[in-house]
Structure 1
Amino acid sequence: MSNIEKEIEQQREEAREVCGSEGTESQDCAVAWDTVEELQAEYAHQRSEKPKKTSLEQYCDENPEAAECRVYDD
């Protein structure tokens, strides 16, 4: 589990505790769940980003003249 996933779980527990003690209509309850939603949105954004380059792509970026990196046009 990644750090952000752990943080989401921790914030969920905290939101449940706040809403349980102060009521679901309280401002603190709304803020706690807003925090959870923001973390979930950030997690989704991180997962949707372009995948990192493969080791071959990294190598070719550093060594474009290498035989493995040649690109032939038809």
Structure 2
Amino acid sequence: MSNIQEQIEQERDQARAVCDAKGDTSGECAAAWDAVEELQAEASHKRQQKPKNSLELYCDDNPDAAECRIYEE
């Protein structure tokens, strides 16, 4: 998770630099802040995902095991 936080900080710094150079109302400034918002949304989404339990992890590694069979009607 710290990797995405580092990316957010880098994008923020870049957005500030672009806005200082191009102006706050420029399209480049808006696009730079959009990139920051997308990364923040991704970080939020990752925080909301619940961790897998031990059975889910086992079934990921052993999809053919009897415990992992899924029957559809």
TM-score, with structure 2 as normaliser: 0.71
Q: Distance in 2 between matches of 1:4 and 1:52?
A: 21
Q: Which amino acid aligns with 1:8?
A: I
Identity of aligned residues (%): 53
Write the distance in 2 (CA, Å) between the matches of 1:52 and 1:39.
23
Which stretches in structure 2 are left out of the alignment for 5+ residues? 67-73
* Cα distance in structure 1, aligned partners of 2:23 and 2:12: 15
Query: Distance in 1 between the 2:48 and 2:40 partners?
Result: 12
- Per the alignment, residue 13 of structure 1 pairs with 13
Distance 1:52 1:43 in 2: 18
Runs ≥4 residues deviating over 3 A: none
SS at match of 1:24: coil
d(CA) in 2 for partners of 1:6, 1:52: 25
Once the two structures are superposed, what CA deviation does each residue of 1:36-71 show, in whole Å capped at 9, x if it has no partner? 0000000000000012325xx556x67x9xxxxxxx
Residue equivalent to 2:43: 43
Distance 1:29 1:39 in 2: 16
C-alpha separation in 2, matches of 1:52 and 1:21? 45
Shift of 1:4: 0.5
Residues 12-41 of structure 1: per-residue CA shift (max 9 Å, x gap) = 000000001110000000000000000000
TM-score, normalized by length of structure 1? Answer: 0.70
Could you tell me which residue of structure 1 aligns to residue 25 of structure 2? 25
